[in-house]
Structure 1
Amino acid sequence: MEKLNRIWPPALVLAAIIAIWWVTVIVTESVIFPTPAQVVTGTLELVEDGTLWEHIGASLLRVGTGFAVAVAVAVPLGLWMGRVDSAFRTLNPVFQILRPISPIAWIPIAILWFGMGDASPVFLIFLASVFPMIVQTAAGVHTIEKRYLRAAENFGVPRTKLYRQVIIPAVLPEIIVGMRIGLGVAWLVVVAAEMIALRSGLGYLIMDSRNAGNRYDLVIAGMIIIGLIGLALDGLMRLLEGLKQVRWRYGR
């Protein structure tokens, strides 16, 4: 019953949005903007010819590659910056300058450096996701109670063991938050990059559908699929919050 009470309010809102969308298209007698039924028909068309799965797979592969590289760089760097004051004072201003720059602004440079292949969007995804994780991880280290660290040092705990058994478990919830933020931004960036620089992926699907015969049913279908995949990716990241190692930070 509790799960049902959590599902029906958003389901009701979505049903109302679809109904308003359908009625608006019919009342305005639009010949371009599609109805929900036309969007479903267009989506089934993409499913039947296999095009949809190719575009989804291409986008997810780029996001997964860039995000994995960002995690591998951001987490160790953030731990180091949070633990070493001189490193934080030196690098934090640089990252704070780079962080607000939209990854979209890097598209011309990415094309110049990496060409028109998959390397360009992977680089953009890396830039989009690495800075939130660095900042969040370093901030998490700064929130650790100093007496815990001093107690470990007084007992002569080796540095590697200190990181493995004290610092990383304490910072893990903050790392998960940074990963959620980074993954959300990364999913936005890959779509924009595909609109400009590539010939595959959901971003390309949207632009190609618009340019090749004004297939706005496929445009809307691509937008909805992007939103659903983004929701699924965020849900997967939220599952990490339920792990025993990080559950202590959350109330539920």
Structure 2
Amino acid sequence: MKNSKFLINAGIGFTILIVIWQFIAEVGGYESALFPPPSKVWEGILTLISDGTLLTHLQVSLSRFITGYLSAVIVAIALGLILGRIPLLWGVIDPIVQVLRPVSPIAWSPFIVLWFGIGDIPAIVIIFIAAFFPVLLSTVSAVRKVENTYIKVAQNFGIKKLELLRKIILPAVFPYIANGLHIAVGTAWIFLVSGEMVGSQSGLGYLIVDARNSMRLDLVMAGIIFIGIAGLILDKLVGLFESWINRIWGRQSA
């Protein structure tokens, strides 16, 4: 029911957007090469699909994203669980994190390229940096909010550290971690595309740059549409994962 309502609302919203887009293209009198109407962009989309260009670049981007994102999530959650339980250590590391966190991952690209060369690795590292901090901060914050009373009661019952982590701490902090996962998906996907536009020879970001250099703005717009749709799907997949974990731990999805 919830999904069908979302699809209906999305259909209405995109229909209105396309109508406005077509109206502006016709009334404004813009050259189609400079402001392509929906019909021309649709032709570009069909071209990218039929010749396999879309599938090739999409596979590359998704492969980079999954590798960088999952690596960042695993490392950030592991560190967050440790640092959240050791306030003194977090007190020393927190200022460093707060200084590094606002720095755009793209700002590190000159060093990343020098250290890792050209290829998939620089894009993966950029994704890692973009996804790491939101998950780390949400995990640390969540662990510090866990009531010590619950932990002491569990320890009195003889629950070992790993069981304490699995049965008490993780179920308690996961809703907060899930917020970090959603934020990390958006930021990591944005910076993946930015990274591909700077120094890659494949991927959706490169597709846009290549189309721009060829003055094919219809393909640029098609690439933008694919990026937006892929980002939406990735966020929904994280939501499905969140719901699945909540069911395992007996939580009701909000």
Which one is further off, 58-67 or 161-170? 161-170
Map of 1:114 onto structure 2: 116
Task: Report 1:1-252 matches (<5 A).
Answer: 5-31=5-31, 32-212=34-214, 214-243=215-244, 244-245=247-248, 248=251, 250=253, 252=254
- Identify unmatched segments of 5+ residues in structure 2: none
Name the CA shift for 1:190/1:4 in 2 (closer, same or farther; >3 Å): closer
Name the CA shift for 1:246/1:25 in 2 (closer, same or farther; >3 Å): farther
1:239 corresponds to which letter in structure 2? L
**Under a length normalisation based on structure 2, what TM-score does the superposition of the two structures give?**
0.93
- Identify unmatched segments of 5+ residues in structure 1: none
Name the CA shift for 1:21/1:65 in 2 (closer, same or farther; >3 Å): same
Deviation of 1:99 after TM superposition, in Å, equals 0.9
Tell me the SS of whatever aligns to 2:36. coil
- Identity, in percent, stands at 41
Give the Cα separation in 1 of the matches to 2:152 and 2:167: 14
- The answer as to whether partners of 1:59 and 1:201 remain within 8 angstroms in 2 is yes
2:124 corresponds to which letter in structure 1? V
Give the Cα separation in 1 of the matches to 2:4 and 2:135: 34
- The answer as to whether partners of 1:169 and 1:245 remain within 8 angstroms in 2 is no
Name the CA shift for 1:247/1:104 in 2 (closer, same or farther; >3 Å): farther
2:227 corresponds to which letter in structure 1? I
1:179 corresponds to which letter in structure 2? L
Give the Cα separation in 2 of the matches to 1:14 and 1:242: 27
Deviation of 1:247 after TM superposition, in Å, equals 6.1
Tell me the SS of whatever aligns to 1:221. helix
- The answer as to whether partners of 1:172 and 1:246 remain within 8 angstroms in 2 is no
Give the Cα separation in 2 of the matches to 1:247 and 1:215: 51
**1:176-231: per-residue Cα shift (whole Å, max 9, x none)?**
2211111211100110011110110000000100101x100000000010000000
2:197 corresponds to which letter in structure 1? M
